[in-house]
Amino acid sequence: MTFTAESLLEQLSDFPPGSKFVVAYSGGLDSCVLLHAMHRVLTISAAAYGGAPVYSLRAIHVNHGLSPNAQQWQRLCEQTCLHLGVALHCEEVEIDPDVANLENLARDKRYGVFEREVEADECLLMAHHLDDQAETFLLRSLRGAGPRGLSSMPLQRPLGKAMLFRPLLDIPRDQLAAYAQREGLAWVEDESNQSVQFDRNFLRHEVLPTIAARWPSYRESWQRSAQLSAEADVLLDELARIDYEEVKAQVPTIVDASKLQNLSPARQRNTLRYWLSLAGAPEPGWNVLTHIVNGLIPAGAGSQPEIRWQTDSISVVLRRYRQNLYLQKVLAGLAVVAPVPWEPQKVLHLPSNGLLYGIVKTGDGLRVDESTPLNLRYRVGGESCKLDGRRTRPLKKILQDANIAPWLRDRLPLVYLGDELVCVPGVGVCDGWRARGKELGWQVIWVPPDASPQA
């Protein structure tokens, strides 16, 4: 197979006239070929439609600043686009060259620029090819990926408000190199591509040549394996949707652990992965899923196990309480330890802890007037309370009986008059402080901080 602009045009056959394309243009061979071939596609398609432009084309160059030649690369990109008459957006990003995972950080920065700059009615074209796909498949295999990871790079996927498309994904790199030679293209060679300290480069220079010598068609074979993995992932998602319907609760961050336990361990992990993704949690990974299945789901009714995991942007905690699993992002610690003055007629925003306010009630609620000097405190341990019409009991037991979740008990703001506890929001008013008859009282409402991972 010979790669040509005509074959690229065939790859774009599903895009209607008027489509707007943006090439991710690094200046390397692959993206140079894609940009040049796309420019020719515009000429070919325009001739087919009577000379009128069918598509629009522009390019984005991300300057990572990691190479001493980075500015030279950018100038070449600018000169090439000027020669072709293609608009180019260049953006420099700052990256610490001493970070542990430089490849991933550079990738995240690059995709961050793409997500910001590509508009909703545009499609970003990336020059990933068959050799890139093979490298990705092998890397993910070595990391123990499942079907979703082994499906490798998709042909297309959402990118922020736009769409990403990889039209060269079935083309081996030697075909792109042959195109570049035929057309006399100029491109940059990133010196870091020769450094085998990076995993992808190590595979490219040390491992894959040996595999190719023994199994020349390994790229196509791995591409089929990636496609089969993608199909398996779709089937697993379909099964997960069916199982999730049986275990879900009215709140999207809660599932029924007792119903999950009726499924096989494999289906539990599959359903958990699906639910956690829906709820906005970071990818849990095999070890986290195994801990949930072996530790949290079968835990006894009296235990309250939990597990935490995180990415750079979010940390979450999954807890088992009674029959359910509860997913939350990890909240900041309470910033206030001293009593906080509170006027019930005003909404009080508590640092890292939601808000508190009062609603006027007749014959119910906390019987104090607006000038009463109330204050808020948090549990320190050993408190007791005599709710209206009941006997004195430890506050800990009262909160348990009121079904206050364990992780909220220390965050619950308690209402004091001086040093006397007079109201436990959401639970009740203490003896002697409840409004009756025609007396006015305050229903005290505490709204906990939003702990949804998507908040």
pLDDT tens figures, 32-88: 999 999 999 999 988 877 777 789 999 999 998 888 888 999 999 999 999 999 999
- Specify whether 89 is located in the same domain as 204: yes
- Specify whether 295 is located in the same domain as 378: no
- Specify whether 216 is located in the same domain as 359: no
25 located within any domain: yes
Residues 6+ apart with CB under 8 A from 305: 295, 296, 299, 319, 320
- 132-181 per-position pLDDT tens digit: 999 999 999 998 999 999 999 999 999 999 999 999 999 999 999 999 99
- Helix, strand, coil percentages for the chain (3-state, nearest 5): 40, 20, 40
Higher per-residue confidence, 99 vs 224: 224
What is the helix (H) or strand (E) element at residue 56, kind and residue range? strand 56-63
Dist. CA 303–CA 434, nearest whole Å: 35
- Specify whether 196 is located in the same domain as 254: no
Res. 302: pLDDT tops 90: no
Q: Which of 296, 329, 362 is the last residue of a domain?
A: 329
pLDDT (mean) for 113-140: 95
226 located within any domain: no
CB 438 within 8 A of CB 395: no
Question: 102 pLDDT band (50/70/90 cuts)?
Answer: confident
Dist. CA 87–CA 187, nearest whole Å: 18
Strands 374-377 and 414-417: antiparallel
pLDDT of residue 190: 80
- Specify whether 285 is located in the same domain as 410: no
pLDDT (mean) for 403-420: 93
Q: Which of 198-202, 278-282, 438-442 has the lowest mean pLDDT?
A: 198-202
- Specify whether 131 is located in the same domain as 267: no
Helix (H, G, I), strand (E, B) or coil at 356: strand
Residues 6+ apart with CB under 8 A from 115: 159, 160, 161, 162
Q: Which of 273, 294, 329 is the last residue of a domain?
A: 329
CA distances from 74 to 70, 187, 341 (A): 6, 11, 59
- Specify whether 72 is located in the same domain as 116: yes
pLDDT of residue 198: 81
- 427-446 per-position pLDDT tens digit: 999 999 999 999 999 999 99
Res. 337: pLDDT tops 80: no
- Specify whether 105 is located in the same domain as 165: yes
- Specify whether 384 is located in the same domain as 436: yes
CATH number at 201 reads: 3.40.50.620
371 located within any domain: yes
Q: How many CB atoms sit inside 10 A of residue 316's CB?
A: 24
pLDDT of residue 196: 83
pLDDT of residue 336: 65
Taking the alpha carbons at both ends of the chain, their separation in whole angstroms is 50
132 located within any domain: yes
Q: How many domains does the chain have?
A: 3
236 located within any domain: no
To 10 degrees, the CA torsion angle through 267, 270, 274, 279? Answer: 80
Distance of alpha carbon 244 from the chain centroid: 20
Res. 389: pLDDT tops 90: no
pLDDT of residue 241: 97
CATH number at 266 reads: 1.20.59.20
- The pTM score is 0.81
pLDDT (mean) for 372-377: 91
**How high is the mean pLDDT of the chain?**
92
pLDDT of residue 193: 75
- Specify whether 292 is located in the same domain as 143: no
Number of H helices, E strands in the chain: 15, 20
**Cα angle value 362/395/399 (rounded, 5°):** 75
Amino acid at 450: D
Dist. CA 360–CA 323, nearest whole Å: 36
225 located within any domain: no
- Specify whether 271 is located in the same domain as 180: no
Q: Which of 274, 299, 329 is the last residue of a domain?
A: 329
Q: What are phi and psi of 424, to 5 degrees?
A: -115, 105
Distance of alpha carbon 314 from the chain centroid: 9
Dist. CA 273–CA 238, nearest whole Å: 12
Percent of the chain with pLDDT over 90: 78
Alpha helices in 123-264 (DSSP H): 130-142, 147-150, 173-183, 199-202, 208-214, 218-247, 257-260
Which residues constitute the domain of residue 303?
248-329
418 located within any domain: yes
Percent of the chain with pLDDT over 70: 99
334 located within any domain: no
